[in-house]
Chains A and B, each alone.
Chain A
Amino acid sequence: MPKVNQPHRTHSAGRSSAQYVVFLSHSSHDNWIAGVMAEKIRAVKAETWLDEKDLEGGDILVEKIIQGIDACAEAIVLVTPHSAQSQWVAFEIGAVRAQHKRITPILYGVSPESVVTMKDVKAIELDSFNEFLSQLKKRVAAK
């Protein structure tokens, strides 16, 4: 049974109202990187929704993913040579965009054109993730 990470509790009890949840779309081949990104997102006091898809990638229920997308305030997509071909990632991108939520492609080892369905969206390199985090921190604080 694949593990589905529930949103982590942040340290600051602070507001008990809905937390700012970031949905992370990624390929199971990039689990480690996605995990590190999630840690850094939680460090700026957002919650994360992260599937740890097993390598076959088939067991995660569509419902769980949609729940995660319903609950999120925004999403990021870790785009690598693996995920650029992933059906699940494409599905998740479609699901997020249909809800008109902010989605940020984070590129690692691919060109911006590799996500054909997000040509209109500004992408950033993984190497610039800290910039994304400082902007995210502001959005979280503004909520």
Chain B
Amino acid sequence: MAYKVFISYAERDSDLASDLAQRLEKVGSQVFTVQDLAPGEDWATGINRALENSDEVIALLTDHSVQSQWVMTEVGAAVSLRKRITPIAVGSPQIPSLLQKYQFIKYSELPQYIVELQQRAQPANSAKRAPESSTKGVKHVRVASR
């Protein structure tokens, strides 16, 4: 099973997100975004499903997206699920304080990020059947609220 990447982005940046998705797909990753919701599926259920299944998450940060409720909500979900998150900054957006502890990369550094992602993706892409999701903390999260 392919390595799955979820991209969180603002609608106004859909061209950028599309370009990013193509570059990821070219190296064999499967990309999910809000566009992949099943017909009639509500946003929260769909996004959670996509995030739970993803191997890592990209937050595309632009002047638009840092103001976006949708993007911040998706980031919150990704953090809560203990997913690896990489904020990618296009231009010089005001990085939200809640993302400040995350190592973010500039859009120009994308090629290097993709190379590193391919390395992370190796086990997933070469295995006939993907192992159980090894995302640390997911199961822990589910029982923590006893």
Contacts and interface: CB of A to CB of B under 8 A. Distances in A.
A69 to B, nearest CB: 6
A93 B145 contact: no
A58 interface: yes
A87 B145 contact: no
Given A18-B146, A90-B73, A117-B70, A95 B80 contact: yes
A115 B42 CA distance: 14
> Taking chain B's interface residues, is the majority helix, strand, or loop, or is none over half, making it mixed?
helix
Interface string A51-72: 0000011110110001001111
Contacts, number: 89
Given A90-B69, A116-B70, A120-B44, A58 B97 contact: yes
A92 interface: yes
A97 B69 CA distance: 14
B51 A62 contact: no
Interface string A74-90: 00000000000101101
Given A57-B97, A62-B98, A94 B141 contact: no
A98 B69 CA distance: 15
A132 interface: no
A70 B80 CA distance: 8
A98 B47 CA distance: 9
A94 B142 contact: no
Contacts of A90: 69-70, 72-73, 76
